[in-house]
């Protein structure tokens, strides 16, 4: 009798366990799936702000003379740039930087004996910020004309920016989101299901590269300033429920 009761309990335990396992499996397979997609937003644009920098210097044993000569060059450079159409608001002269120019002295045995003073070097830089990109580009190419005025001017390559970047970023996010949604709908359609509600959205890094360049994207974002013609892009990763 006792053995029969034990066998009955054992059989009931097996039946209950099998039911629970089967129910768990059915619940697992009936859960809604997810569809993860990444969309791309991309646009070409032309820079509308140019920043151009340059510098000039004078050297003399007399500090006061070096400063006076530098001021004369500044007047010539300022007049030249204003005659080319640069306005006073666009042109900024930075503070003068001065340093002593020296070189080491050595005796016939090659031993260091001190420094020789070669004079003072005074340098001043300027910066032009303008929305007239073509005008400043032309001036930057023609600045060697100052050599004919006896001024040695060191020019830096222009940098290009876009003042409507915030609006462009919003536009790119919209394009990337729409691209991702279309991809998700196509995946759901191909799998015979329906696209459910949006679970999450994650924005990628905003990238700006020169058009037709071989620049690589960066994890921290690329921001090209050397090209006037640029390409902006951004990605959006969306997760949807799949019904």
Handedness of CA 73, 74, 78, 79 (dihedral sign): negative
Within this chain, do residues 54 and 155 fall inside the same structural domain, yes or no? yes
Within this chain, do residues 76 and 149 fall inside the same structural domain, yes or no? yes
Query: How far is the C-alpha of 68 from the C-alpha of 58, rounded, in Å?
Result: 9
Within this chain, do residues 61 and 74 fall inside the same structural domain, yes or no? yes
Residue 62 belongs to domain spanning? 50-159
Within this chain, do residues 25 and 41 fall inside the same structural domain, yes or no? no
Give the pLDDT band of residue 214 (cuts 50, 70, 90). Answer: confident
Asked if 60 contacts 99 with a C-beta cutoff of 8 angstroms, the reply is no
In the listed set 138, 159, 180, which residue is the last one of a domain according to the structure?
159
- pLDDT top residue among 24 and 88: 88
Whichever domain contains 130, its CATH number is: 3.30.70.2970
Give the pLDDT band of residue 47 (cuts 50, 70, 90). Answer: very high
Q: How many CB atoms lie within 10 A of CB 215?
A: 14
Within this chain, do residues 2 and 42 fall inside the same structural domain, yes or no? no
- Domain count within the chain: 3
Within this chain, do residues 194 and 213 fall inside the same structural domain, yes or no? yes
Within this chain, do residues 13 and 62 fall inside the same structural domain, yes or no? no
Asked if 122 contacts 97 with a C-beta cutoff of 8 angstroms, the reply is yes
pLDDT of 59 > 50? The answer is yes
pLDDT of 8 > 60? The answer is no
In the listed set 159, 184, 201, which residue is the last one of a domain according to the structure?
159
* Helix-, strand-, coil-residue percentages of the chain, each rounded to 5: 40, 40, 25
Within this chain, do residues 1 and 41 fall inside the same structural domain, yes or no? no
Q: Distance from CA of residue 11 to its chain's centroid?
A: 69
Within this chain, do residues 21 and 83 fall inside the same structural domain, yes or no? no
Query: How far is the C-alpha of 128 from the C-alpha of 197, rounded, in Å?
Result: 51
Whichever domain contains 39, its CATH number is: 3.30.110.170
pLDDT at 55: 97
pLDDT at 242: 84
Within this chain, do residues 140 and 171 fall inside the same structural domain, yes or no? no
Within this chain, do residues 150 and 186 fall inside the same structural domain, yes or no? no
Give the pLDDT band of residue 32 (cuts 50, 70, 90). Answer: low
Query: What are the angstrom distances between the C-alpha of 60 and each of 24, 37, 63, 100?
Result: 90, 66, 6, 10
pLDDT of 2 > 90? The answer is no
Within this chain, do residues 140 and 199 fall inside the same structural domain, yes or no? no
Query: Average pLDDT for residues 125-152, to the nearest whole number?
Result: 94
Give the pLDDT band of residue 215 (cuts 50, 70, 90). Answer: confident
Phi-psi region of 114 (alpha: psi -120 to 50; beta: other; left: phi over 0): left
> Average pLDDT of the chain?
85
pLDDT at 216: 74
pLDDT of 6 > 70? The answer is no
Q: Which of 157, 158, 152, 145 is nearest to 56 (CA)?
A: 152
Element containing residue 39 per DSSP (H, E): strand 33-46
Residue with tokens 């600045």, as numbered in its chain: 143
pLDDT of 20 > 60? The answer is no
Query: How far is the C-alpha of 137 from the C-alpha of 100, rounded, in Å?
Result: 34
Question: With a threshold of 0.85, does the pTM exceed it?
Answer: no
- State pLDDT tens for residues 81-125: 999 999 999 999 999 999 998 888 888 888 888 888 899 999 999
pLDDT of 188 > 80? The answer is yes
In the listed set 105, 135, 159, which residue is the last one of a domain according to the structure?
159
């Amino acid at each position: 009798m006792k053995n029969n009761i034990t066998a009955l309990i054992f059989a009931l335990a097996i039946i209950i366990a099998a039911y629970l396992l089967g129910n768990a499996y059915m619940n697992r397979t009936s859960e809604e799936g997810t569809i993860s997609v990444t969309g791309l937003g991309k646009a070409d644009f032309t820079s509308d702000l140019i920043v151009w920098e340059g510098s000039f210097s004078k050297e003399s044993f007399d500090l006061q003379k070096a400063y006076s000569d530098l001021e004369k060059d500044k007047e010539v450079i300022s007049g030249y740039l204003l005659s080319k159409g640069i306005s006073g608001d666009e042109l900024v002269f930075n503070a003068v930087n001065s340093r002593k120019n020296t070189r080491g002295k050595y005796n016939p045995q090659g031993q260091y004996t001190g420094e020789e003073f070669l004079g003072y070097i005074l340098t001043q830089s300027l910066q032009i910020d303008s929305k007239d990109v073509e005008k400043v580009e032309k001036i930057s190419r023609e600045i060697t004309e100052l050599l004919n005025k006896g001024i040695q001017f060191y020019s830096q390559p222009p940098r290009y920016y876009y003042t409507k970047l915030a609006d462009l970023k919003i536009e790119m996010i919209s394009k990337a989101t729409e691209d991702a949604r279309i991809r998700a709908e196509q995946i759901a359609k191909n799998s015979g299901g329906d696209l459910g509600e949006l679970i999450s959205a994650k924005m990628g890094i905003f990238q700006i590269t020169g058009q037709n360049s071989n620049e690589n994207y960066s994890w921290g974002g690329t921001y090209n300033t050397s090209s006037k013609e640029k390409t902006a892009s951004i990605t959006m990763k969306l997760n949807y429920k799949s019904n």
